[in-house]
Amino acid sequence: MAQTVRDAVLHNPAMARVFERHGIDYCCGGQRPLDEVCTEKGLSPEALIAEALPPTEPDIDWNQAPLPDLIQHILDRHHVYLRAALPELERKLVRVREAHGATDGPTLEELGRIFIGLRDELMSHMAKEEQILFPMIQRLSSGLPAPMSLDGPIGMMEYEHESAGNALAAMRRVTSGYVLPAHACGTYSALYHQLAELEADLHQHIHLENNILFPRAAGIRA
């Protein structure tokens, strides 16, 4: 039997984002054959599957690269990702809660509560980095004096990273490691997959800041 749109998402949850990008309904209309939907949209199934592959990262040694390049990479790769992923995750949480609140209410409520706290914290956290700390590091790395010590802003960012890490761990605990219940639909599956993706991306993002950017910036000042 031909692979359906729903099968494609269940087999590879990253397909959910690709289908959304192309306006393909993978949830309620997900039982339609993938070939048929692609023909209708003038797309090839192979091209859609290729779109779901993670982009390859250029092999850059961030311990050596200029700090403004590292900052630009963090902004382009991680801050842009969060600004797109956080609202999308919130929409999915609402849809899953509407559809599965009767059976999974307490888990989904708790998950939603932790997620919203994390989202609010990350949005203000990124604004502080973009408006205060990163411009200070850029000034220092081009030989100009910073208007104040980096200690305070770096300490604050590290504290907020720890809080974000705690929220990620709590979401993983509440969902028993993102294990889907047997009755999960395509949106549920995409939600859990994308939350796990958020976790992996934030771990990488925080690593670049805590372990590379901040110590290197502190070194310029010394």
Stretch touching Fe ion by CB under 5 A, among 13-21, 30-38, 165-173, 203-211: 203-211
Q: How far is the CB of 141 from Fe ion (least distance, A)?
A: 17
Which position among 7, 104, 199, 209 is part of the footprint of Fe ion (CB under 5 A)?
209
The structure tokens listed for 37 are 């939907």
Both tokens assigned to 26: 């993978």
**Does 7 sit near Fe ion (CB under 5 A)?**
no
Contact segment (CB under 5 A) with Fe ion among 34-42, 45-53, 81-89, 206-214 equals: 206-214
Binding track, positions 82-121, relative to Fe ion; x by CB under 5 A: ----------------------------------------
Site string for Fe ion, 154-193 (x = CB under 5 A): ----------------------------------------
Stretch near Fe ion under the rule CB under 5 A, chosen from 13-21, 44-52, 124-132, 166-174 = 124-132
Sign of CA dihedral 78, 83, 85, 86: positive
CA–CA gap between residue 139 and residue 189 (Å, rounded): 44
Spatial separation of the C-alpha atoms in residues 72 and 134, rounded to whole Å: 10
- Give 104-108's long-range contacts (Cβ < 8 A, gap of 24+): 104/181, 107/174, 107/175
Q: And the tokens for 111?
A: 């998950």
**Interface with Fe ion includes 199 (CB under 5 A)?**
no
Burial of residue 201 (number of CB atoms within 10 Å: 0-12, 13-18, 19+):
middle
Q: Tell me whether residue 74 or residue 184 sits nearer to Fe ion (CB atom).
A: 74
The contact set with Fe ion (CB under 5 A) reads 129, 209
